[in-house]
């Protein structure tokens, strides 16, 4: 086994090979092979259908079994995955991707442009009802130019497309798997480093090594098990006992527990995940920007971050683009200023206070925490929030996207365009703050930014929008949560991504001191 891997490594100096092996690792090649990595999460895993899945644990599982055209590196820039190169034409209206040669699906068949075309056609088909259809970009048509070239024609210029093809719902699925979408819920048709071995919805996914993976020599692991532990305390106990090797989505309060365990490492990376409060700007009291500003000034963000996320995060200034995004532009932090908040309230005619209902779904827990803490912090300025915490299913049916004041929660996206559109754009997104109608100019800036090809110009446009969002926007966004993982030191070459469900395990390996256990 190990000898043939060495041979593969030596032969793999091929054109678009990406493996990030360092020379030292090559020397220790023999020790890298084998072992099953056991990963834990605290919720999810209802389906493994890559066209339809919407949660972190599921994105992780399909990341291991499938590939995309591109993937994102640590700087969140697109790099080759199944596509070895790509070019834009006609002012970013036409994108042409050249596929790698010799990539095989788990079934043995070779990847062709047809599979890519069928995947995207299915993703975009309204009959599929994919939740991510809108986020794939303004694609007009997809066609196979030849066996290994795919051309995307956009309806309007879309300069960020190569980063968008890295999203979890754009995994490339073999043609055969796309005929009857029901099969995709429990079977996989991918090219990824691991094949599906077992899937128990809501409980676990077990994958095993695919010997014919196009990144020759990888993966090193024999397999991976992803298990759901609904209780973080149980999860931590299992980790302590080395029944889990890697905790994904480690809670901030348990982070210090892992950090102090000898032999374990607690990893933290700035992310883009956040919870924010909508300030519905189409009706009183938040239609007056003075009131919005007043609320934003009530919040002591450092204290909120400390209390809610144990300090694990980056302060926000009421817009959703953190340092984890390529389009990030730093702005001065916002401190609490209760006297000024009161002043603004008086100017807006609300000197006597105002009562507002604030909703929060009970999952994830950060939502209700933000609501509870905000209620206390905003009291001195005259805001009387009636907090109502709802079960998630009721929240979806009765509160979400209905123009009330509630707590939103979003995970890190591949591009700033994606999250900004989602939050603010009335057509491409939800405009949960009901703000777009009165701020058409700002929305136009967003539209322009995604069309512009010149990187500098794009950065300036985004910087412009972010300032507007901070000063007038319909969201109070106090901080971004760090991505937190806990792992044992024997798990090597693991890099925590700013979007932790973007878990690349191609080149991860277990050192010799890993416990020898069955999955």
Partner 1 sequence: MARYALRRLPSIALILLLVSAIVFVAIHVLPGNAATLILGEYATPEALRTLEREMGLDRPLVVQYASWIGSVVTGDWGVSLAMKQPVATVVGYRLRNSAFLAAAALAVVIVVGIPLGTLAALRRGQPLDLAIVTATYVGISIPEFVTGLLLLLVLAGPTLHWLPTSGYTELASGVAAWARHLVLPALTLTIVLLAHVVRQTRSGMADVLTAPYIRTARLKGASTRRVVLRHALRNGLLPTITVLALDLGYLMGGIVVVEEVFAYPGLGRLIVYAVQNRDVPLLQMCALVVASVYVLANFAADLAYAWFDPRIRYS
Partner 2 sequence: MRRSPALAVGGLILAIVLVLGVAAPWIVPYPTTEQHMLERLKPPGARFVLGTDQYGRDLLSRTLVGTRPALLLGLGAVALGLTVGVPIGLLAGYAGGRLDDVVMRVVDAMLAFPSLLLALLIITALGASTGHALLAIGVANAPGVARIVRSATLSLREAEFVLAARARGERHLYVMFGEIFPNVLAPVVVEATLRVGFAIVAGASLSFLGLGVQPPTADWGLMIREARQYVFVSPWPLLAPGTALAITIVAFNLFGDGLRDRLGAA
Interface residues for partner 2 in 201-240 (CB under 8 A)?
Answer: 231-233, 236
Cα–Cα nearest to 240, from 519, 515, 455: 515
Interface residues for partner 2 in 310-369 (CB under 8 A)?
Answer: 362, 365, 368-369
Q: Could you say which of partner 2, partner 1, none residue 254 binds, taking C-beta under 5 to 8 angstroms by partner kind? A: partner 2
Q: 360: left (phi > 0), else alpha (psi -120 to 50), else beta?
A: beta
Find all residues with CB under 8 Å of 394, minimum gap 6, and list them. none
Fill in the per-residue mask, 188 to 227: x = in contact with partner 1 (CB under 8 A), - = not in contact: ------------xxxx-----------------------x
Interface with partner 2 (CB under 8 A), residue from 141, 155, 187, 394? 394
Query: Distance between CA 360 and CA 372 in Å, rounded?
Result: 9
- Number of residues forming the site for partner 1 (CB under 8 A): 42
- Part of the chain binding partner 1 (CB under 8 A), chosen from 97-105, 136-144, 156-164, 233-241: 233-241
Q: Could you say which of partner 2, partner 1, none residue 373 binds, taking C-beta under 5 to 8 angstroms by partner kind? A: partner 2
Considering the rule CB under 8 A, would residue 134 count as an interface residue with partner 1?
yes
Query: Distance between CA 242 and CA 443 in Å, rounded?
Result: 50
Decide whether 64 or 239 has the Cβ nearer to partner 2: 239
How far from 11 is each of 44, 216, 433, 507, CA to CA, in Å? 40, 8, 55, 17
Decide whether 302 or 438 has the Cβ nearer to partner 2: 302
Decide whether 389 or 430 has the Cβ nearer to partner 2: 389
Decide whether 169 or 251 has the Cβ nearer to partner 2: 251
Q: Could you say which of partner 2, partner 1, none residue 31 binds, taking C-beta under 5 to 8 angstroms by partner kind? A: none
Cα–Cα nearest to 383, from 396, 392, 393, 374: 374
Interface with partner 2 (CB under 8 A), residue from 89, 303, 396, 455? 303
Residues in the chain: 519
Q: Could you say which of partner 2, partner 1, none residue 232 binds, taking C-beta under 5 to 8 angstroms by partner kind? A: partner 2
Decide whether 167 or 469 has the Cβ nearer to partner 1: 167
**Would you state the structure tokens that stand for residue 379, as one six-digit string?**
């009291």
Residues facing residue 195 across a β-bridge? 208
Query: Distance between CA 131 and CA 50 in Å, rounded?
Result: 11
Inter-residue contact 51 to 123 (CB < 8 Å): yes
Decide whether 231 or 513 has the Cβ nearer to partner 1: 231
**Terminal CA-CA length for the chain:** 20
DSSP of 356-387: EEEEEESSSTHHHHHHHHHHHHHGGGTEEEEE
Interface with partner 1 (CB under 8 A), residue from 126, 263, 330, 332? 126
Interface with partner 2 (CB under 8 A), residue from 11, 74, 391, 453? 391
Consecutive H or E run containing 57: helix 56-65
Residue 235 C-beta: closest distance to partner 1, Å: 8
Interface residues for partner 2 in 276-295 (CB under 8 A)?
Answer: none
Query: Distance between CA 127 and CA 390 in Å, rounded?
Result: 31
Q: Could you say which of partner 2, partner 1, none residue 138 binds, taking C-beta under 5 to 8 angstroms by partner kind? A: none
Inter-residue contact 25 to 32 (CB < 8 Å): yes
Interface residues for partner 1 in 28-67 (CB under 8 A)?
Answer: 46-47, 49, 52, 54
**Would you state the structure tokens that stand for residue 292, as one six-digit string?**
């919005």
**Would you state the structure tokens that stand for residue 234, as one six-digit string?**
């149980």
Find all residues with CB under 8 Å of 239, minimum gap 6, and list them. 40, 247, 258, 264, 486
Binding site for partner 1 (CB under 8 A): 46-47, 49, 52, 54, 126-134, 182, 185-186, 200-203, 227-231, 233-234, 237-238, 240-241, 243, 391-394, 396-398, 400-401
Binding site for partner 2 (CB under 8 A): 231-233, 236, 251, 253-254, 256-257, 303, 306-307, 362, 365, 368-369, 371-373, 375-376, 387-391, 393-394
């Amino acid at each position: 086994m190990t000898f043939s891997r060495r041979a593969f490594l030596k032969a793999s100096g091929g054109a678009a090979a990406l493996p990030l092996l360092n020379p030292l690792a090559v020397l220790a090649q023999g020790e890298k092979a084998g072992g099953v990595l056991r990963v834990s999460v605290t919720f999810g895993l209802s389906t493994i259908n890559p066209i339809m899945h919407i949660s972190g644990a599921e994105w992780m599982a399909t990341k291991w079994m499938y590939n995309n055209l591109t993937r994102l590196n640590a700087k969140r820039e697109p790099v080759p995955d199944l596509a070895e190169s790509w070019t834009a034409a006609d002012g970013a209206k036409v994108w042409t991707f050249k596929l790698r040669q010799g990539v095989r699906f788990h079934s043995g068949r070779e990847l062709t442009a047809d599979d890519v075309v069928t995947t995207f056609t299915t993703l975009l088909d309204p009959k599929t009802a994919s939740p991510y259809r809108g986020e794939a970009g303004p694609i007009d048509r997809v066609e196979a130019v030849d066996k290994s070239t795919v051309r995307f024609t956009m309806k309007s210029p879309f300069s960020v497309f190569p980063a968008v093809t890295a999203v979890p719902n754009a995994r490339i699925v073999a043609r055969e798997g796309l005929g009857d979408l029901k099969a995709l819920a429990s079977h996989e048709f991918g090219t990824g480093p691991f094949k599906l071995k077992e899937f128990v919805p809501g409980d676990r996914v077990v994958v095993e090594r695919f010997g014919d993976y196009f990144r020759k020599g990888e993966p090193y692991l024999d397999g991976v098990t992803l298990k759901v532990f609904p209780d973080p305390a149980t999860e931590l106990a299992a980790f302590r006992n080395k029944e889990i090797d890697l905790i994904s989505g480690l809670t901030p309060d348990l982070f210090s527990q892992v950090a102090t365990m000898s032999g374990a490492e607690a990893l933290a990376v700035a992310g883009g995940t956040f919870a924010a409060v909508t300030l519905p700007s189409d009706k009183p009291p938040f239609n007056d920007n003075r009131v919005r500003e007043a609320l934003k000034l009530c919040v002591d963000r450092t204290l909120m971050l400390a209390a809610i996320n144990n300090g694990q995060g980056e302060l926000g200034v009421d817009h959703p683009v953190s340092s984890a995004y390529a389009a990030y532009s730093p702005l001065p932090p916002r401190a609490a200023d209760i006297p000024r908040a009161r002043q603004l309230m008086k100017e807006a005619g609300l000197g006597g206070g105002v009562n507002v209902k604030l909703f929060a779904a009970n999952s994830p827990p950060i939502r209700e925490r933000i609501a509870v803490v905000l209620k206390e912090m905003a009291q001195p300025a005259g805001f009387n929030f009636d907090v109502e915490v709802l079960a998630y299913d009721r929240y979806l049916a009765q509160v979400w996207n209905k123009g009330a004041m509630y707590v939103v929660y979003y995970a890190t996206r591949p591009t700033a365009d994606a999250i900004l559109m989602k939050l603010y754009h009335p057509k491409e997104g939800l405009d949960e703050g009901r703000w777009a109608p009165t701020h058409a100019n700002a929305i136009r800036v967003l539209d322009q930014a995604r069309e512009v090809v010149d990187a500098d110009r794009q950065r300036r446009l985004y910087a412009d929008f972010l300032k507007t969002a901070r000063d007038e926007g319909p969201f109070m966004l106090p901080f971004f949560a760090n991505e937190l993982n806990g792992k044992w030191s024997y798990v090597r070459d693991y890099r925590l991504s700013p979007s932790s469900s973007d878990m690349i395990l191609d080149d991860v390996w277990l050192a010799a001191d890993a416990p020898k256990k069955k999955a």
